[in-house]
């Protein structure tokens, strides 16, 4: 059997679904690896590196599809609505697809995949259980987003991060406020702290306080009822209107005291909650910076424009999109390891376990046997 790796067609996507270092792991399952020519070039992985590890380079995308039992994507249909349509004509019945398909936000995109009778696995649906941690793509990419957000903030802010004692006087440290202490938020805390900033963080889930403090951040306490703030999967839950009103009121003062605000609050499949209002931006100091990591889902800041930088009241508001692709070498390395671990679970003794009762396989499957697979909310 063959596993195919295709060049990404989503505009601006530089990542690749498999890097040369993971080919040996894939081959141990009995699969041979076919790579579309140039698939890894933008991420820093030339064709020669794949060949050196035993992969076969194929110049034709259609040949990769026709010769492969499994196709690996970074962005499959759903996460690549426009360009991804072209691959439907290349898919063959019974083929297995693995990648990011954004099934919660784009559920209709599953239907054409089901009509092609392919079995698709969406890595966004990976259950948050201990043995699936090595396959948790959302956490891998969130780690990169949190790190990158701090770099964007440092470049944009007209100040330096650390306190410095110089002959020209003392330079006061910058103050960074991070909203949301999930994977991206925690990485942002660690990165900002390493650069010398004074870091405060807030999360609707009080249980993360110790994690924030362990990284050198100061947890912002707010007198709010947070009893139902976390889902069974460990994500922050969408809260009611009254809770959000009180939260914004208490947060306004904290926001005004900081030079940088990094927002990371996102709920899978839902519009991002607005945590920073236009009124809150108005009280921030001129020159301050907001990095909105939830821009792709509407943004945590009321004034965010996805993919743009806007300036309001002297405050720069950045709405970056697809941040992991800006660090394609390591983003590909982490994503490829997640996929390789999943393939190792999916393929046993040279056979693809699409009928398995394994919790990980069942949870990530979105189409099978010509039908869309539904999951409990």
**128 is annotated as an active-site residue:** yes
| Given 87, 102, 136, 259, the catalytic residue | 136
| Given 59, 133, 213, 353, the catalytic residue | 133
**45 is annotated as an active-site residue:** no
**297 is annotated as an active-site residue:** no
| Given 41, 105, 139, 356, the catalytic residue | 139
**62 is annotated as an active-site residue:** no
| Given 37, 67, 69, 235, the catalytic residue | 235
**136 is annotated as an active-site residue:** yes
Q: What sections of 234-277 are H helices per DSSP?
A: 241-256
| Given 105, 128, 194, 329, the catalytic residue | 128
- The residues assigned a catalytic role are 128, 133, 136, 139, 235
């Amino acid at each position: 059997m063959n596993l195919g790796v295709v060049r990404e067609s989503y505009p601006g996507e530089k990542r690749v679904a498999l890097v040369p270092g993971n080919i040996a792991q894939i081959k141990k399952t009995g699969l041979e690896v076919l790579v579309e020519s140039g698939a890894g070039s933008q991420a820093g992985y030339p064709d020669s590196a794949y060949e050196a590890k035993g992969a076969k380079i194929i110049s034709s995308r259609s040949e990769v599809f026709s010769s492969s039992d499994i196709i690996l994507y970074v962005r499959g249909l759903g996460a690549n609505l426009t360009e991804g349509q072209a691959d439907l004509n290349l898919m063959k019945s019974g083929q297995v697809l693995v990648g990011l398909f954004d099934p919660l936000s784009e559920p209709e995109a599953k239907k054409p995949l089901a009509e092609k009778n392919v079995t698709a696995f969406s890595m966004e649906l990976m259950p948050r259980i201990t043995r699936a941690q090595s396959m948790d793509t959302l956490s891998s990419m969130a780690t990169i987003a949190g790190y990158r957000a701090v770099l964007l903030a440092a470049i944009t802010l007209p100040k330096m991060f650390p306190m410095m004692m110089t002959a020209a006087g003392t330079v006061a440290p910058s103050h960074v406020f991070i909203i949301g202490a999930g994977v991206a938020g925690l990485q942002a805390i660690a990165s900002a702290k390493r650069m010398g900033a004074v870091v405060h963080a807030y999360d609707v889930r009080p249980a993360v306080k110790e994690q924030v403090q362990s990284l050198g951040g100061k947890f912002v306490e707010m007198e709010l009822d947070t009893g139902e703030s976390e889902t069974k999967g460990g994500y922050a839950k969408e809260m009611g209107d009254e809770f959000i009103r009180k939260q914004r009121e208490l947060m306004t003062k904290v926001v005004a005291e900081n030079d940088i605000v990094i927002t990371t609050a996102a709920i899978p499949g839902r519009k991002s909650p607005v945590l920073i209002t236009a009124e809150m931006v108005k009280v921030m100091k001129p020159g301050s910076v907001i990095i909105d990591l939830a821009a792709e889902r509407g943004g945590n800041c009321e004034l965010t424009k996805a993919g743009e930088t806007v300036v309001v009241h002297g405050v720069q508001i950045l709405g970056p999109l697809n941040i992991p692709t800006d660090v394609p070498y390591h983003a590909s390395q982490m994503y490829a390891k997640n996929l390789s671990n999943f393939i190792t679970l999916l393929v046993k003794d040279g056979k693809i376990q699409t009928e398995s009762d394994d919790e990980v396989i069942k949870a990530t499957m979105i189409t099978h046997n010509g039908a869309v697979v539904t999951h409990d909310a």
